Structure 1
Amino acid sequence: MLERARVLDAGDPLAQFRERFEVPEGVIYLDGNSLGCLPNATPARLEQVVREEWGRDLIRSWNSAGWIDLPAKVGAKIAPLIGAQPHEVIACDSVSVNLFKLISAALKMRPGRKIVLSEPGNFPTDIYMIEGLENQGLAERRLAERGKLVEALDGDVALLLLTHAHYKTGELFDMEALTKAAHEAGALVLWDLSHSGGALPVDLGACEADFAVGCGYKYLNGGPGAPAYAFVAGRHLAATEQPLSGWMGHAAPFAFSDDYEAAPGIERLLCGTPGILGLAALEVGVDLIAEIGVERLYAKSKALSEFLRQCLAEGGVALDFVSPADPGARGSQLSFRHEEAYAICQALIARGVIGDFRDPDILRFGFAPAYLRFADMAEAARHVAEVLESGEWQKAEFRERAAVT
C-alpha cells in the first residue's frame, strides 16, 4: 500500500500546501479535527502584531491597523466557506458563548415557546448551554434520537439545535431537510459547524438556516483557543437580541452612552473587547483554507479516509467501524469502537500517530487534507496493525487515564 500511496501523493493537486504548515518530523497528525496545525505564516503575522502594531503603534492600532474592524473582517472571510454573506458572520468569543447568545436570541424571537430541541450525545457544551438557560427558567430542554427529531418538532419548540457533523462518529445531518422541517413547525434552527466548517461544503444560505456557530481552532487552523464565529441570517439581524449587551455590540460604542442600543448589523453579536492576537492568527488560517478551497479539501478528505480504510482492511485490522460507510455521509473523520480505545490511542501517540479518544470507547482519526499525505495513511494503518497485534497497548503507561488526551 505504501507504493500505491506514493503514486497517489505524486498526483495530488494539494500536495504543495503541506509545506505551508508546520508538521513535526516523524508525526502523522490525525487530530486536526481537535486542533489544526500551525500555518507557517502565523508566527510572522503575530510578530508583526506584537512588535509593530502593539509595541510601536500602541493604541493607535485600533484605527491604523484596523483592529476595531477585525471581528467583522475575519467573519466576512469565513462567510463564503459556510455559504453565508459577508455581513452575516462575525468572528468573536467562543463557541459556547456564541451558543448562549443565539439560543437566547431565538427564544426571544419565539414568544410563548420555551423548548430547545436537540439530540442526546450532542457535543456537551451545546446541551449544557440549553441547561443553563433552563436553570434560569428561560428554556426547556428536549432531547430526541436523531431518527425521531422531526416528530419531536411540535408547536412548543422554539429552536432546533444540532451539530452538523457528529463529533464522535462524524455522521452528518441533512441540514436542508431538518431546517425545512423545523420551519414548517414554526421553530428556528441553530447549527453547530465546529466539526464541518472549513472541512466540507456547507451552504447555510441555500438551506435557509437561521443561525450557526463554528470553531476557529480545528479545520480553520487559528490556534489553541482561537476565536469562534457566529452566523445570523440577514433576514433575522434586526430582530436578533443577544443577552450579553457589552459595549462592543453597541451601535456607537465610543459614545459611552448610559443606555444600550444594539448595533444594526452582525456587530450586535459582539460583547467585550476582541482579542486581537487570536483574531490575527485566525485570519491567517482562514486565508489559507480559502486559498485551497473547501471543495478540494473535502474531495481529498474522502479519498484519504477511504484509502486508510483499505489499508486497515488489507492489514487485517479488526476494529468496529462506527462512522457512516458512505464518505459523503460523514465529516472529515473516521471513528472506530474498541473497549480499549484509550490505551490503543495512547500507544499510537507514543509511535507518533496522533489521533484521539472519545469516552467511553471511540478511537477517532481526523483528516485535514491540506497537510496530510496518502503515505501517512499507509503508515498509520501499519502502526495500528502492529499495536493491536503486539498488544503493546496493554502496557501500564498506556492504560492509565490522563486528564487531557
Structure 2
Amino acid sequence: MTDFASTRAAFHLPEGVTYLDGNSLGPMPHAAKARVAAMMQDEWSEMLITGWNKAGWYTQPRRVGDRIARLIGAGPGQVVMGDTLSIKVFQAVSAARALRPDRRVILSDNGNFPSDLYVAEGLARAVGAELRVVAPEEVEAAIDDHLAVLMITEVDYRTGRRHDMRSLTARAHDAGALTVWDLAHSAGAVDVDLTGADADFAVGCTYKYLNGGPGAPAFIWVHPRHGDAAQPILQGWMGHKSPFAFDLGYAPAPGIERMRVGTPPVIAMTALDAALDVWDDVNLSDLRARSVELTEAFIARVEAACPDLTLHSPRDPERRGSQVGFRHPQGYAVMQALIANGVIGDFRAPDVLRFGFAPLYNDLDDVERAVDTLSRILRDESWNNEQFHKQAAVT
C-alpha cells in the first residue's frame, strides 16, 4: 500500500497554498535542491569535462529513462531522455510515418495539445503527407486503410478526457497503421501500460506529474519491434552509433539510442533523477485509485457548492485522467482570484478553469480548501475586480 502522507512530505509545498496545477508544473521535491547542488559542486566544479565519463553524464539519458519506463509500462533499455517534447513528437511521428511509406495520412483529434498538431502539420507539409484532425469521439471511426500514423495525446489537456489506448491501438493495427501516444498528462498521474496496449511509439514531458522542474527534458519510447527499423528525420550526433568517431555520414545507433539528438541537459536531468526517487515505493494501482478519489470528491463538492460552473470533463472516472475542468463565462478572472486567495489552478481558453490532482501530494484537505475558496469567490463576486481581468503572458 502506497503511503501518500510520506510522498506528500517529499515536496516543498509553500505555506498557505493549495496547489492544483501539477498538470502544468509539479512542485519542487526537497531532494532536488541538494542533488543539483552536489552535482554542480562535486561534478561540474571538480571534474570539468571529465564528468561525462567519471560522473556518467553521457549515459544519464538511458539511466533516467529506465526509471521512467516502470511508470509507463515499458521495459529496461526502451526509454531515453533528452530535448523537448515537441522534438520527441517530431521524431516519433516521422519515424512511424517512414515505416508506412505507402500511406500519407496522420490522424489526430482537436483535443490534442496544439503544439503536437503544429509539429505534425509541419512534418506533413515537408514529406507530402496529410494531417487529418477530427473530434475526440470521432477518432475510432476515422481510422481507415489510408492511415499511416495515429497520433493521440492519451489525456486531453483541456477536458481531462482519457482515450482508450488499448482499443484505439488495436483498431489502428487492424487498419495497418502505427500509433504515437503523447503521455504528457498521463505519466505520473494514471496507470499507463504501453506494453500491454501494444503501442508503437510514446513520448512525454517530465515537468508535470513527474516533477522534474521547469523545462525538464522529455522522453521517448519505441516498441522493441521497431527499435532497429525506426528512422526519425531529425538525426543528431548523440544518436549516431559512434558519436566520437565524428563520421560525416549518419549511422544510427541500435535501438532506443538512435532517438537521442543533442547533448543532454545534465543539470536538469539531475533534478529529474532526484524527483523520481519518490516513485520507488509507489504502486501505480494505488496512484490511480487515489486520483479517482480526489477528482470524484472535487466534482461532487463543486457541483453542490458552485451552481454557476459547468463540468467540462467526463463524469465517468474511467474516461478521465487526473484533472478536472469547469467552465465559467469569466473563467480567466475567476482563476486569477482563486490564485490570489492561495488556490493555484490554471485557465485554458476560452472559458475553462482547470484543476490538476497529483496523487503524490494532493489530498482531500486540498479538495475542501479549494472548493470553499472557489464557492466564496463566486458568491461574493470578488473575481470581478479589475486586477483579475488583466491577462498575463502565461495563463
TM over 0.5: yes
Question: Secondary structure, in 3 states, of the residue corresponding to 2:59?
Answer: helix
Moved over 6 A (4+): none
1:170 maps to which residue? 160
| CA displacement, residues 288-313 of structure 1 (integer Å, 9 cap, x when unaligned) | 12432332222112111222223324
1:363 maps to which residue? 353
Question: Secondary structure, in 3 states, of the residue corresponding to 1:159?
Answer: strand
2:139 maps to which residue? 149
2:35 maps to which residue? 45
Listed as ranges, the gaps of 5+ residues in structure 2 are none
Name the CA distance, whole Å, in 1 between partners of 2:254 and 2:152. Answer: 27
Which of 193, 209, 233 is the aligned partner of 2:223? Answer: 233
Note the 1:1-400 alignment, pairs <5 A.
Answer: 13-400=3-390
Name the CA distance, whole Å, in 1 between partners of 2:370 and 2:285. Answer: 25
Name the CA distance, whole Å, in 2 between partners of 1:336 and 1:21. Answer: 27
TM-score for the superposition, normalised by structure 2: 0.97
Q: Please say if residues 303 and 309 of structure 2, whose CA atoms lie closer than 8 Å, have aligned partners that are also in contact.
A: no
The alpha carbon displacement at 1:155 in A equals 2.0
Q: Please say if residues 114 and 140 of structure 1, whose CA atoms lie closer than 8 Å, have aligned partners that are also in contact.
A: yes
The alpha carbon displacement at 1:314 in A equals 4.0
Q: Please say if residues 216 and 282 of structure 1, whose CA atoms lie closer than 8 Å, have aligned partners that are also in contact.
A: yes
Question: Secondary structure, in 3 states, of the residue corresponding to 2:227?
Answer: helix
Amino acid at match of 2:22: G
Question: Secondary structure, in 3 states, of the residue corresponding to 1:55?
Answer: helix
| CA displacement, residues 227-273 of structure 1 (integer Å, 9 cap, x when unaligned) | 01001000001110112221110101111222211001211000111
Name the CA distance, whole Å, in 2 between partners of 1:117 and 1:316. Answer: 38
| CA displacement, residues 147-184 of structure 1 (integer Å, 9 cap, x when unaligned) | 32223222221100001011011111111110000011
Name the CA distance, whole Å, in 2 between partners of 1:138 and 1:272. Answer: 27
Q: Please say if residues 346 and 355 of structure 2, whose CA atoms lie closer than 8 Å, have aligned partners that are also in contact.
A: yes
Deviating more after overlay: 79-88 vs 312-321: 312-321
Q: Please say if residues 2 and 286 of structure 2, whose CA atoms lie closer than 8 Å, have aligned partners that are also in contact.
A: no
The alpha carbon displacement at 1:282 in A equals 1.0
| CA displacement, residues 182-216 of structure 1 (integer Å, 9 cap, x when unaligned) | 01111000000000011110110011000000111
Q: Please say if residues 2 and 282 of structure 2, whose CA atoms lie closer than 8 Å, have aligned partners that are also in contact.
A: no
Name the CA distance, whole Å, in 2 between partners of 1:295 and 1:225. Answer: 28
Question: How many correspondences in the alignment?
Answer: 395
Name the CA distance, whole Å, in 2 between partners of 1:261 and 1:160. Answer: 28
1:5 maps to which residue? none
The alpha carbon displacement at 1:12 in A equals 9.1
Amino acid at match of 1:334: V
Amino acid at match of 2:279: I
Deviating more after overlay: 242-251 vs 193-202: 242-251
Amino acid at match of 1:329: R
Amino acid at match of 2:85: V
Question: Secondary structure, in 3 states, of the residue corresponding to 1:394?
Answer: coil
Change (3 A) 1:316 1:251: closer
Alignment root-mean-square deviation, CA: 1.4
Name the CA distance, whole Å, in 2 between partners of 1:172 and 1:91. Answer: 25
1:3 maps to which residue? none
Identity of aligned residues (%): 47
Question: Secondary structure, in 3 states, of the residue corresponding to 1:34?
Answer: coil
